[in-house]
Amino acid sequence: MTVDEHEGPLFEIKQTAWGGRACFAKEDIPKGTRVLEIDDYTGSCVSYEFRKEVCCYCYAYSYGKTMKFKLDKTSVESLIQMSNRKIDINMKKFQGAGLWFCSEECCGEFLHLPNIIDLIESYEILLTSFHSMLKRHNSDDDKEAELNSVTISKEIIDSQWDKITKSWILSIEKIKSSKRLNKLPVISEDEYSCCRFVCSSLYRLSNFSEDSLTMKSFQHLQSNELEKISKFPILLHFQESVFNTLYILLPNNLKCHLSTDSFRHILGSEYANSFGLWQEDESLESRECYGYWVLPRASYFNHSCDPNITKTRNGRIMDFILNRDVKVGEELSINYAGTLNLPLTERREFMRNGWFFDCGCQKCLKELSDG
């Protein structure tokens, strides 16, 4: 990502010696200034456990109750009529695409998103397939231990995707569409949620223009594919199941954006950049994290153990507001995790284990040199 491509009014992106690219103030900025306010996420996911308790438009949480409004058949039928294209779902058995809303307004706004029928169609196909699975993937400790014992390298990951591209996809293409369903892997709830995240990403990305800042920011996002899979080798198998499921089930409007490369970047960049979807209104210690989303334009802020930006979610909008005055040239940073009050060693261990980096923030450097 070059500086020019991410030229904003208040900050710019520059390469650092300690933590890849980071954001720097272009002028003196007073405390309280909103340096970024965005809603242009490129993919989101509510975890399976919370699927009925979170509004899929504004991400409001219902404190354990099922949301009042489920996507209804009549609204989808009128969308299909307006879209004037053939849809691959059986409307007589429409199940609501796994979409719940807190209000009619949220449902109405969701239905007005451009080409939203593409996403509803894919979600409904996935849901129907998941519901009709004779058996669900059950965790098998021995098998998981075996899959997690592999030593991962970039070559091993590349070779898996090479095989999928050069062999599995070709073999699937030779099979009649009606018979491809027999090749569907048995997936878990987590794999199903990941399928929905990738669908949401393919849908959102296909609706941004190629030269938009969001798209450029997305394309240049750091990927933590190797770091994450090295720590959890079972993800190699997990990703293969998710890719194969999507390749077999997705209708053309989204499938045309699915390749092994796009899939790897969507997940690899999610591992390095996603923000948690947290309950808005409770204290940090007790609130629920019910999903995650990727906001590429906000993904160039590095972490600091003494951040000068406070990030807050207001419905579908993320706000990044200065919590103190900042001087021109100063780095703008956020808090990645709830670790600010921990002692140095624990903080650094947390960032290393969960985020795969040795924190190079000013506070850590000072405490390290103070001994």
Ligand X SMILES: C[S@@+](CC[C@H](N)C(=O)[O-])C[C@H]1O[C@@H](n2cnc3c(N)ncnc32)[C@H](O)[C@@H]1O
What residue ranges bind ligand X (CB under 6 A)? Answer: 18-22, 222, 224, 272-273, 299-300, 302-304, 355-357, 359-361
Question: What's the closest the beta carbon of residue 233 comes to ligand X, in angstroms?
Answer: 19
Q: Is 98 left (phi over 0), alpha (psi -120 to 50) or beta?
A: left
Judged by beta carbon, residue 124 or residue 225, the one nearer ligand X is 225
Q: In angstroms, rounded to a whole number, what is the distance separating the alpha carbons of residues 189 and 143?
A: 17
In contact, 226 and 160? CB cutoff 8 Å = no
Residue 349 makes CB contacts below 8 A (sequence gap 6+) with: none
Judged by beta carbon, residue 164 or residue 298, the one nearer ligand X is 298
Judged by beta carbon, residue 198 or residue 359, the one nearer ligand X is 359
Query: Could you tell me whether strands 275-278 and 43-46 are parallel, antiparallel, or unpaired per DSSP bridges?
Result: unpaired
DSSP state for residue 54 in the 8-state scheme = B
Phi, psi values for residue 326, rounded to 5°: -130, 140
Judged by beta carbon, residue 107 or residue 305, the one nearer ligand X is 305
- Two tokens at 340? 């600010």
Question: What's the closest the beta carbon of residue 27 comes to ligand X, in angstroms?
Answer: 22
Question: What's the closest the beta carbon of residue 303 comes to ligand X, in angstroms?
Answer: 4
Question: What's the closest the beta carbon of residue 193 comes to ligand X, in angstroms?
Answer: 22
Question: What's the closest the beta carbon of residue 222 comes to ligand X, in angstroms?
Answer: 4
In contact, 46 and 82? CB cutoff 8 Å = no
Q: In angstroms, rounded to a whole number, what is the distance separating the alpha carbons of residues 51 and 189?
A: 11
Question: What's the closest the beta carbon of residue 221 comes to ligand X, in angstroms?
Answer: 6
- Two tokens at 362? 């000013």
Question: What's the closest the beta carbon of residue 54 comes to ligand X, in angstroms?
Answer: 24
In angstroms, the Cα distances linking 18 to 12, 110, 223, 357, 359 are: 17, 41, 17, 10, 8
- Of the candidates 355, 15, 347, the one whose C-alpha atom is nearest the C-alpha of residue 364 is 347
Q: In angstroms, rounded to a whole number, what is the distance separating the alpha carbons of residues 25 and 11?
A: 4
Judged by beta carbon, residue 108 or residue 338, the one nearer ligand X is 338
Judged by beta carbon, residue 2 or residue 159, the one nearer ligand X is 2
Question: What's the closest the beta carbon of residue 196 comes to ligand X, in angstroms?
Answer: 22
Q: How many residues does the chain have?
A: 371
Question: What's the closest the beta carbon of residue 176 comes to ligand X, in angstroms?
Answer: 44
Judged by beta carbon, residue 56 or residue 272, the one nearer ligand X is 272
Burial (CB < 10 A; 0-12, 13-18, 19+), residue 342, is middle
- Two tokens at 369? 């040199």
In contact, 162 and 111? CB cutoff 8 Å = no
Question: What's the closest the beta carbon of residue 320 comes to ligand X, in angstroms?
Answer: 13
Judged by beta carbon, residue 22 or residue 250, the one nearer ligand X is 22
- Two tokens at 108? 């109405």
In contact, 14 and 24? CB cutoff 8 Å = yes
Judged by beta carbon, residue 122 or residue 302, the one nearer ligand X is 302
Judged by beta carbon, residue 94 or residue 336, the one nearer ligand X is 336
